Every structure is written in C-alpha cells, then in structure tokens.
Amino acid sequence: MKTHTRAVVIGGGVVGVSVLYHLAKLGWSDVVLVERSELTSGSTWHAAGGMHTINGDTNMSYLQSYTVKIYEELERESGQSCGIHRVGCLYVAANEQCNDYFKMERARARHLGLDLEFVSMEEVKKINPLIETKHFISALYDPNDGHVDPSSVTNAYAKAARNKGAEIYRNTPVVELKPTASGGWLVVTPQGTIETDVVINAAGLWGREVGAQVGINLPIMPMEHMYVVTNDIPEVAALAREIPMTIDFDGESYMRQEGKGLLIGTYEKDARHWSVDGTPLQFGHELLENDLDRITDAMAVAMERYPCLVEGGIKRIINGPMIFAPDGNPIIGPVRGLKNYFVATGVMAGFSQAGGVGLAVAQWVIDGEPGMDVFAMDVARFGDHVNKSYVLEKTMENYRRRFTITCPNEELPGARPLKASPVYDKLKAEGAVFGATNGWEYPLWFAPKGVEPVEKPSFRRSNAFPHVAAECKAVREQVGLFETSSYAKFDVAGKGAEAFLNGLMTNKLPSKDGRAVLCPMLTPKGRVLGDLTVTRLTGERYLLIGSPTATEYYMRWFQAHLPGDGSVAVRDVTAEWMGFSLTGPKSREVLSQLTTEDISHTGFPFLSARQMTIGLVKALVIRVSFTGELGFEIYCEPKSQRHILERLLVAGAAHGLKLCGVRALNSLRLEKGYGSWGREFSVDYNAAEAGIDKLVKLEKGEFIGRAAAAAALKAGGKRKLAIMTVDVSDTDPIGNEPVLQNGKVIGRLTSAGYGHTIGTAVALSYLPVDIVNAGGKVEIEVLGEMRPARILAEAPYDPSGARMRA
Ligand SMILES: Cc1cc2nc3c(=O)[nH]c(=O)nc-3n(C[C@H](O)[C@H](O)[C@H](O)COP(=O)(O)OP(=O)(O)OC[C@H]3O[C@@H](n4cnc5c(N)ncnc54)[C@H](O)[C@@H]3O)c2cc1C
C-alpha cells in the first residue's frame, strides 16, 4: 500500500470510482481509492441501473448526458462490459402540465444537442407494446437512455482508472482523517496510513460518517427505496426486441424490461427514512425488509398502465437505502473551512450522474474550479439553516415528489417558513405571496385586496401577471418598496480588509468612506464567480451585499482566501441587517419626508452610502437600484425594520407607493439588461463575454483571475451577452430556452420574462459576437413554439441610465 499520494478517494461505489477514473484521466495518475469492503458495497450493488439525461437544471442535464454517453468509452478502455442496454426511455404525460414540462425539456435538450423527441401514441405502442396508451396525452422519447449493470459499471470505472495508474485498496476502511501542517491529510486505515494532498469523501450511504471524521454534518439522509421484479410474462417473452424504459409521471413509476419479466419502481408518498442517526458501519450487501403495502397503490396504477403486469406475479422485491440531499441533487465540491477536502456524495441517481460528478469533482480538485457552473450540485448551496431536522423534512418532501412535476413558478412548502424578517407578518397581511431563498422568506408579489394571495403553479403566464404588472408600473411611474432582508451581507473588517478585498475584487474599491462600487469576482481562470456591491463604511470596514443564494458560496471563497495573520475578519451579517429597496421617480420625495439629511442628487449622489435617521431609527442608506429607476437601499437592525416599514407606507401613500416583490424586480432589471448572479454572472462565462470590462480594472494590481481576464479582454469574447425582445402570446420565456437562427441553435437564454413597461417579453443570452453585433432576428423556442425575437443594440428601457442617476 502506498504511503504518499496526491489524492485519496474514500468509497468504492459508482461515484468514488468515477472520481478516481476522472482524476487519472485528467492526468493525476498517482491517486488512490480506499474501500471499506468490496467495491459496490453501498447503494450501488442493488440499484436498478436506469440512466436518464432529463433534468430540470440545464448544466445537470449536460452532465447527465455526459454520464450516459461514457459507458461505451469505458468498455473500450477497460475491456469490461458495462451491461449496456441502450433501449431508450419513453416519458409519458397524462396531463397538460406534464406535457408542458416535456415541451420545456425538449427545447432545452435542443441546446444540448440531445435527441429528445415527441412521439405519437401510435409510435409509443410500437416501441412499447405493453403500454395502455389511453391514459396518456403525449410522450417524449430519448434514445440515449436505458439501463446498465451497476456492478459491471463500477468495475469498468475501476479497471479503466487502474489502467491509468490509479490504485484501489479494498477492505480498507478509513477510520480517521488528520490534517497535516502542509494542508494535506493523513488517511488512517487498519492497513496503514496514507499521506495525501487531497481527500474526496465519496462514501455514499456513509457520507455522513466520513464527514463526521472531520467535524462536518453533511446534509444527506438515506431513504428506503423499493422496486419489484416480476416473474416471466408471456407478452414480454414474446417481444421481438427489448422495450424502452418508461417513466409515467402521473402514475409515479418507472418500468423496464428485466429478462422475460418487468422491473417496476416507485417513489411512494408513504416514504421512509432509513437509519436516521447514522448508517451502521457493518451494513453492506444486505437488503431492507419489504413493505409492499406502501407501494400497493402505485403498483395498482402500474397494472392499469401495463395490463400484462397482472399476469406476472412478484418474483423479487428489492428494498435498499439510497442517499438523498434536501433538493435531490448531488452534493459536491470543497467544504468551507477545510483545506483540500472535497465531497462527492448525496448522489441519488448514480447511473445518470456519477460520470458528470466525477468529471466536475476531478476538475475542481486539479484546477481549483469545476469547469462549468455546477451550483445546482455544490455543497455550498446550503446555508447555516440546514440542520438534521431540515434535512429530514426536505428529503422526505423531495423523495415523495420525485415524479411530481414542479412548475417554474412553484415554491415548495417543506421546512417553511424558516427564516423570516420582523415584517413578515405585516407583509403577509398586505397580501404578500412568499418564496424562499437560502431559508429566508421573501415576497414574490402582492395580491391586492380581494385577490387570493396564491399563485397557481404553471409553465405558462400565471394569475400573478396583472398584479406584477401593476407593481412594475408603480416603480416606473411613482415608487415601489421591495423587502430585501434576504440579500447576502458580509462585514469585512480589520487592518487587512482593503488589501484582502483588493485581491478578490476586479474593480477598484471605493476611495472614500460612504461610497459604494459594483465589484465582480473572478476565478483563477477568469470566469465570473460573483458580483457584489461593496460599500466602504470606514477605511477598515466594508459591507458587501450580494445574491442570497450565494451566501455560503461567497463565505467559502472569502474564508479560503483570508490571510493567515488575523488582519481581517469576514462575518456573514445577513441576519443582522434587514433591508428595503425604495425605488421609483418618487422615491426621493418619500424618503426625504423621513430624514433631515440632504438626499438631493448633489447631496447624496449615485453610489453614495450614509448612516442616517429614518423616522426615529438609524439606518444605512445606499443609493443604488436594480430596477433602473432612482433608488435607495435601506439597511437597519431587525428591531427597527417594522418602524421603517410603517413610516415608509405612511409617507409613500400620497405618492402612490406600492409594495412589490421579486417577480416585478426581475421584469424591471431585464428591461435594463442587468445581469443577475447564477444566470448571466456565472462561471460559465468570462469577463469579456459578460461585458463587465468597465468593472475589471487591470491597472489596479494583482487580483484573482487578473491574468486570465487580461487575456480574455484582449482576445475579446467569442460570445457576448445579448438582449432581445421576444414576441409572445400568453406564455413567456423564463430562461434556458434555445435561441435559433436559420434553424440552427446558437445559444440558450440565461434569463427571460415579460417586460411590463415595454409591453413584450425580454430575454438575455450569450450569443456569437458577430450575430449580436449584426443585430437582427432570431427565434426562441417557448414551450414548443418558435417565437420571433429581435436582438437589440441596447437595453429597451432607458439605455443611458439617466433615470437611475437622476
Ligand atoms: C433500490 C434502489 C434502486 C436504485 N436504482 C437506481 C437506478 O435505477 N438508477 C440510478 O442511477 N440510481 C439508482 N439508485 C441509486 C444508486 O444506487 C446510487 O445513486 C449510487 O449507488 C450511489 O453511489 P455512491 O458511490 O455515491 O454510494 P455507495 O454505493 O453507497 O458507495 C459508497 C461506498 O463507500 C464505502 N465506504 C463507506 N465508508 C467508508 C470508509 N470509512 N472507508 C472506506 N470506504 C467507505 C462503502 O463501503 C461503499 O462501497 C438506486 C438505489 C436503490 C437503493
């Protein structure tokens, strides 16, 4: 056994071997995998082996398509069969909502170059003669899907990794992990200790236990999962060729052929967690006790869908534990506060996802960044509110909803309300319809008196539309008030604060107290990692404000780059500063009634920040806005927020002040062409493409990503952020739809929505530079319909920014 290596992967399930393979493939051949028992000893051995590319998140879909396409290559490299049955998958819809979901997925697949196609019921019957088509209204077919043999795949990854120099030690449990002074790890096993630069926790069902060895609580929980294999069925035996897998969303089941019988699985509503307090160390190749009663209803529906099932009789029931994260996505990446420690766990669909997970994690380990935006899987998408109780509630919700269609405008109720500002009840009484981000409740829109504050889930324009329109109108013509407490806020303080921030931010920091600037951050490869408003409170104290979703993500980045000399401290102060955004042409008049400060344009210019008394309490006011109108962000202590709200409502009444939500904010910022974190500002794009060159000050000295940004800016981007108007009828694009020109896909939307001021839909997308510069017409596929769109030379609303600077 080696005593020194570059990376140790803990766990020999399908995820661990994929990480190992990809490390070796990308050039790190001196790597090791340690497995407690035999390979596949966790969830992997009893999986049904189904593989699918379809996923609500586009980058996840991309990585899934990578995963399902890798098996042939693995077979070639390893000489080991993966037991590939590329029989395709039929996704069947029994209602219009599911049909809309298919249309959305079909369009997104077009951008990824996948072959997802709608097929008629006659074709369905031809490719799966066992199905009773009268229950369905549409079907999608993906020829790339199918199933593989779990053990064979695991062994193929292992062999291919070994061929590239990696080593695998079986029956070698990791019992302790000790950090070394040089930032590496000692991996302690009964067979000996290995010193390594990097550790990757891929311990699947034991991810929690291996995490506990370094003092972290990973947000994952095992769930029981059952599938049934039937006896031989004459209709199946008589088939000329293997039928495709079939997923029936309405019936909540998946089905595939298993020999001359069928295999049916379901994500039952009456679900069960397993081993809540920890996975037993001895657990291995055992199954759990069956509980057929919990899946009887779904099986009864399956018998209607596939009538020949009635003749089958059950040959075998598999009930095994599988690991789940609160949102059902994998949990990968470096862990905040631990040097050179990565996770690759929470993978509940290993045969669809392990390849992509392995690729992203290996790139992250080797390059310091994952190669694409994998935030949907990033361990840093969970904030400090994610404790065991939260994980229990959300994993139960997620498991039960595995085949339930979630609409783009739908907010799931699990574990809510969790974090709420002091004005939550007051806003609720005013008609607020809430969403949740990073655990915080925030208003999506406000239902006027007499209107029920409920938004109907839909892929199309929802009942919120006219009310959002009214909110936008108030902001453009009078004044709107947004509650913004959920925004991520960081206090950066100390003698070294300025130098620390200068090393991270691309823009020059404010040179005076009471000034704010917009500051992007880049990865070492010059990709857009973040965008923050940085306000200088004093020379040694800065307040940073950014997207709520990125709170933990930013904290991880800050912490990883703190100097070791204690000269600067970063604190997440999100819960200490509640917020409002007061914006619109009348906002100054409203605010001036509540303060004696000079807030005129000259007394308080754009990007100023000042502590002032609002009503009877202290607040920090910053002159910025995301709507394109004159605006003020107001931050105060939690105890003062109610007071400020009441005073603003009273002062605003005479000026038509309206409470507004994030749906309106999105429409308003789109009309201005403002990018948003996680959409336009993401590691998928560099500074040249994102058009943030004015905020990248190469002359200011060294900062992370500077050399790459200089090169990118010099070369110019191949793509450029384009703003378009889209002709729509009653359905708006929402983001991720493909953009086509002359029938060829040229990009995908990063964000889109209806522009209530300009009276048409507006969309943002990274498109080839020459196409953007030429302007002209493109098409956007919105729920199956090609919609004409026009590339604009500038934002359709107030392109000079005069209104905001008024
Ligand atoms: C009934 C059932 C059906 C399923 N069907 C499908 C399907 O059709 N398609 C699909 O994609 N997915 C399916 N899954 C899910 C799939 O099995 C998992 O996504 C996948 O196996 C997860 O792999 P993993 O490597 O993350 O974890 P695991 O398979 O749990 O592997 C973890 C490994 O880590 C090892 N380990 C743990 N602790 C230590 C330690 N301290 N030291 C060293 N080694 C350690 C374990 O022994 C184990 O081998 C199914 C799951 C179940 C339960």
Q: Is the dihedral of CA 523, 528, 529, 531 positive or negative?
A: positive
Is 348 a pocket residue for ligand 1 (Cβ < 6 Å)?
yes
Is 145 a pocket residue for ligand 1 (Cβ < 6 Å)?
no
> Which pLDDT score, from 0 to 100, does residue 113 have?
86
Ligand 1, residues 17, 35, 43, 324: which to mutate, most atoms within 8 A of Cβ? 43
Q: How many helices (H) and strands (E) does the chain have?
A: 22, 37
User: Is 516 within 8 Å of 607 (Cβ atoms)?
Assistant: yes
Is 204 a pocket residue for ligand 1 (Cβ < 6 Å)?
yes
Q: Is 789 helix (H, G, I), strand (E, B) or coil?
A: strand
User: Is 631 within 8 Å of 587 (Cβ atoms)?
Assistant: yes
Beta-strand ranges (E) seen in 455-540 are 480-483, 488-493, 515-522, 528-538
**Residues facing residue 345 across a β-bridge:** 331
> Which pLDDT score, from 0 to 100, does residue 115 have?
84
Q: Which residues of 551-588 are buried (b: 16+ CB within 10 A; e: fewer)?
A: bbbbbbbbeeebeeeeebebebebeebbbbbbbbbbbb
Is 14 a pocket residue for ligand 1 (Cβ < 6 Å)?
yes
Cα distance between residue 54 and residue 49, in whole Å: 15
Residue with CA at minimum distance from ligand 1 atom 12: 349
State the residue for tokens 């059902």.
328
Using the mean position of ligand 1's atoms as its centre, give its distance from the Cα of residue 533 in Å. 42
Closest atom, ligand 1, to C-alpha of 42: 30
Closest atom, ligand 1, to C-alpha of 11: 34
> Which pLDDT score, from 0 to 100, does residue 191 have?
97
Ligand 1, residues 32, 169, 185, 205: which to mutate, most atoms within 8 A of Cβ? 205
Q: Which helix (H) or strand (E) holds 32?
A: strand 31-34
> Which pLDDT score, from 0 to 100, does residue 111 have?
87
**Residues facing residue 483 across a β-bridge:** 580
Is 207 a pocket residue for ligand 1 (Cβ < 6 Å)?
no
Closest atom, ligand 1, to C-alpha of 347: 19
Residue 787 burial by CB count (10 A; 0-12/13-18/19+): exposed, middle or buried? buried
Which among 149, 145, 123 has a CA at the least distance from the CA of 136? 123
Give pLDDT < 50 ranges for the chain: none
Is 157 a pocket residue for ligand 1 (Cβ < 6 Å)?
no
> Which pLDDT score, from 0 to 100, does residue 242 have?
97
Residue with CA at minimum distance from ligand 1 atom 37: 203
Q: First-to-last CA distance in the chain?
A: 70
Compute the C-alpha angle 112/113/117, nearest 5°.
105
Is 575 a pocket residue for ligand 1 (Cβ < 6 Å)?
no
Is 517 a pocket residue for ligand 1 (Cβ < 6 Å)?
no
Q: Which helix (H) or strand (E) holds 561?
A: helix 551-561
Using the mean position of ligand 1's atoms as its centre, give its distance from the Cα of residue 275 in Å. 15
Closest atom, ligand 1, to C-alpha of 16: 25
State the residue for tokens 């998928």.
684
Residue with CA at minimum distance from ligand 1 atom 31: 13
pTM above threshold 0.95: yes
Cα distance between residue 384 and residue 397, in whole Å: 20
> Which pLDDT score, from 0 to 100, does residue 717 have?
81
Ligand 1, residues 40, 44, 210, 379: which to mutate, most atoms within 8 A of Cβ? 44
Closest atom, ligand 1, to C-alpha of 41: 49
> Which pLDDT score, from 0 to 100, does residue 114 have?
86
> Which pLDDT score, from 0 to 100, does residue 58 have?
87
- What are the Cα distances from residue 363, in Å, to 334, 359, 565, 705? 12, 6, 30, 17
Closest atom, ligand 1, to C-alpha of 227: 1
> Which pLDDT score, from 0 to 100, does residue 747 have?
97
Distance of CA 210 to the CA centre of its chain: 25
> Which pLDDT score, from 0 to 100, does residue 547 have?
98
Which is it for strands 440-446 and 480-483: parallel, antiparallel or unpaired? unpaired
Is 34 a pocket residue for ligand 1 (Cβ < 6 Å)?
yes
Using the mean position of ligand 1's atoms as its centre, give its distance from the Cα of residue 7 in Å. 21
Q: Is 364 helix (H, G, I), strand (E, B) or coil?
A: helix
Is 347 a pocket residue for ligand 1 (Cβ < 6 Å)?
yes
- What are the Cα distances from residue 134, in Å, to 14, 138, 178, 304, 306? 38, 10, 60, 10, 11
Q: Is 613 helix (H, G, I), strand (E, B) or coil?
A: strand
Q: Residue 722: which residues within 8 A CB-CB, separation 6 or more?
A: 747, 764, 765, 766, 767, 771, 772, 791, 792
Closest atom, ligand 1, to C-alpha of 350: 19
Using the mean position of ligand 1's atoms as its centre, give its distance from the Cα of residue 351 in Å. 10
Is 350 a pocket residue for ligand 1 (Cβ < 6 Å)?
yes
Residue with CA at minimum distance from ligand 1 atom 34: 11
Residue 387 burial by CB count (10 A; 0-12/13-18/19+): exposed, middle or buried? exposed
Q: Residue 312: which residues within 8 A CB-CB, separation 6 or more?
A: 230, 231, 232, 233, 261, 262
Is 361 a pocket residue for ligand 1 (Cβ < 6 Å)?
no
Cα distance between residue 579 and residue 182, in whole Å: 42
Q: Which residues of 429-461 are buried (b: 16+ CB within 10 A; e: fewer)?
A: ebbbbbbbbbbbbbbbbbbeeeeebebeebbbb
Residue with CA at minimum distance from ligand 1 atom 4: 47
Is 668 a pocket residue for ligand 1 (Cβ < 6 Å)?
no
Using the mean position of ligand 1's atoms as its centre, give its distance from the Cα of residue 247 in Å. 22
Q: Is 485 helix (H, G, I), strand (E, B) or coil?
A: coil
> Which pLDDT score, from 0 to 100, does residue 754 have?
98
Cα distance between residue 444 and residue 427, in whole Å: 11
